[in-house]
Amino acid sequence: MTDSSQQESLLDPEHGAITGTGAKTARGAAFLLGTKLSGRALDFISLVVLTHLLRPADFGMVSLAMSVIYLAEAVFELPLYQALVVLDLIDKEHLDTAFTLSFLRGFTICIVILVVSVPFSIFYDNFRLLPLLMALSLAPAFRGMQSPGLALYAKRLDFSRECVIELVGKGCAMTVAVLVALTTRSYWAIAAATITSSVVSMAVSYVISEYKPRFTLSRWNDFRNFLGWSSGAQILSAVNWQYDRLILGRLVSAPTLGAFSIASDLVAIPSQAIAVPLSRPLLSALVACRDNLGRLRNLYRLSNAAVFMVILPIFIEMSSLSQEIVHSILGPKWEKSVTYIALLSIPPIIAGLAEGIGALVMTFKKNHLYMRLNTIEFCLKIPIITGVSIFFGAIGACWARIGVAFIMMFVCLATTKSLIKMPYTEIFFQNWRTGLAGIVSCLAIEGMKYGILPATWPGLARLFILAGSGIGVYILALLVLWYLNGKKADDIEAKIIGTCLSRFRS
């Protein structure tokens, strides 16, 4: 427990003043990235176990229920964490106000979900959704009540406590999911894991953040303007994210919806493990140097190139190896997911070219731009996905996602240009080697699948050999292209190689 002087130092943004922002950002990002990868590995293990113990129809029903939960969370979204990080000075009353708002939000979400659960069950003609929704309403209530004191550490690019919370919550959730699935073979295993993760994470956050909650709204004015635009944008973002599942719930069978949901969840794991955790240290770093446009542009350029360089080969391999992934890991009853995984792996690649736009918008406190981006996506996604899904079902929804992602990429790049005067050509040019290396990797995988590797080999062995070969070819192609392009010191490849050599020498 800290004494009063230590507490005051925590609340002082000048305490541990940010020096070497790039290095701190890299360390914080690496720490969060490692933790998120570990957490998503636990999610993946849990998902694989559940796919063998439960039916596609079970996943379809839970996916439908979770869509309601996500939408309810979004409607009452209060991005308090981001608001605290962006504030120039955080005091105890700011934290107490954030806690009070979180408590009120959680209580409201529970009430709203209880109210809508009956008409929702009637609309989808499935009354098993009623008790499921009532139980799942606890998850967002606890998830949103994590200690606001964590923002104090994030402002100094210290994410160690968040990493502990992540791993403990995921570990407990996986244990509960497997135990309930083994004993009941019921979709309640997924619900139990969701609730457990939220409750445990919330409890641990107060144990390790050294923050004692108190009810007050004395600092409401410091949050009001920020939350207005951000909350509206979050609502549209959640609708954009969940709409395809909601419309498919009325148009396709439960097993088909389950297969689509599993594919969507699998594809989301790399994004949530890589892009999402990097957004927090990036936001803190951009805020620290927002008064120096040159440094900010360089930091954004390097972070965008680094994230795209990491996510591109992952999604290329998911798309190219979708059949091997399903057959060797999920099992034959998930055959429908093969095509869905192959197609749904494409939108994250397209979106990766504009990665970091959310942190950039929040850095300049221009949250109306975030609202504008989500509104444009909403206006594109709703009519396109609805029309295509009516005629082509889940396959149509996949292609609709690809089309919308392509349009939104240019919209996000235009916003980036307006904020930091960074033209499209600069972003495309800095990533051309990564894109070409990805194409070479894809061609190598396809060539090995159909021309070299025997089809009679075990599925898991084929998957590991093909995946490893694809990554090896990608790295080699990337290094060769960088060498042929002159080995420039300000390229992201030079930064990564320099860091690796430094670590090796030490």
Q: How many CB atoms lie within 10 A of CB 119?
A: 9
Give tens-digit pLDDT for 340-363. Answer: 999 999 999 998 888 777 778 777
User: Residue 192 pLDDT more than 80?
Assistant: yes
Residue 451 predicted with pLDDT over 80:
no
Least-confidence region, from 110-114, 271-275, 463-467, 473-477: 271-275
Average of per-residue pLDDT across 264-269: 87
Average pLDDT, the chain: 81
- In the numeric block, which tokens belong to residue 391? 């005629």
Q: What is the reported pLDDT for 315?
A: 94
Average pLDDT over residues 134-154: 82
| pLDDT value of position 28 | 56
At residue 11 the predicted structure's pLDDT band, cuts being 50, 70 and 90, is: very low
In whole angstroms, what is the distance from residue 445 CA to residue 442 CA? 5
Kindly indicate the confidence band of residue 1, based on its pLDDT and cuts at 50, 70 and 90: very low
Is 334:286 a contact under the CB 8 Å cutoff?
no
What's the confidence (pLDDT) of residue 221? Answer: 76
When pLDDT is averaged across residues 382-389 and rounded to a whole number, the result is 93
302-330 average pLDDT score: 88
pLDDT mean over 372-401: 92
- The residue-averaged pLDDT of 72-79 equals 71
Structural contact between residues 228 and 83, judged by C-beta atoms closer than 8 angstroms? no
Q: 194 CB contacts (<8 Å, ≥6 apart)?
A: 66, 136, 139, 173
pLDDT of residue 58: 86
Mean pLDDT of 421-448: 87
**Residues 249 and 389 sit within 8 Å (Cβ to Cβ):** no
pLDDT digits (tens, 9 = 90+) for 195-216: 999 899 888 888 887 788 888 8
More confident call, 270 vs 252: 252
Q: Is the pLDDT of residue 22 over 80?
A: no
- SS in 3 state form for 146-204? CCCCHHHHHCCCCCHHHHHHHHHHHHHHHHHHHHHHHHHCCCHHHHHHHHHHHHHHHHH
- Kindly indicate the confidence band of residue 328, based on its pLDDT and cuts at 50, 70 and 90: confident
How far is residue 140's CA from residue 162's CA, in Å, rounded to a whole number?
18
- Give the range among 109-123, 289-303, 338-352 with minimum mean pLDDT: 289-303
Q: What pLDDT sits at residue 18?
A: 37
Give the per-residue pLDDT at 214.
84
- Mean pLDDT of the region 413-441: 86
Q: What's the rounded mean pLDDT across residues 144-164?
A: 75
List Cα–Cα distances, 342 to 58, 318, 320, 336, 398, in angstroms: 23, 7, 7, 11, 9
Tell me the C-alpha to C-alpha distance, in Å, between residue 343 and each of 60, 320, 389. 19, 10, 15
Smallest CA-to-CA distance from 408 within 364, 378, 367 is with 378
Contact indicator for 474, 438 with CB cutoff of 8 Å: yes
Q: How confident is the model at residue 319 (pLDDT cuts 50, 70, 90)?
A: very high
What is the C-alpha separation between 49 and 51, in angstroms, rounded? 6
Predicted local distance difference test score (pLDDT) of residue 151: 76
Instruction: Summarize the confidence of residues 115-137 as an average pLDDT.
Output: 88
pLDDT at 208: 83
Residue ranges covered by each domain of the chain: 22-229, 231-505
Task: Provide the token pair at 143.
Answer: 């998830």
pLDDT digits (tens, 9 = 90+) for 52-65: 888 888 888 888 88
Averaged pLDDT for residues 60-85: 77
Residue 289 has pLDDT above 80, yes or no: no
Of the listed ranges 91-100, 152-161, 429-438, the least confidently predicted one is 152-161
Tokens at 350, concatenated: 């397209």
Q: The tokens of 212 are what?
A: 């004692």
Amino acid at 23: A
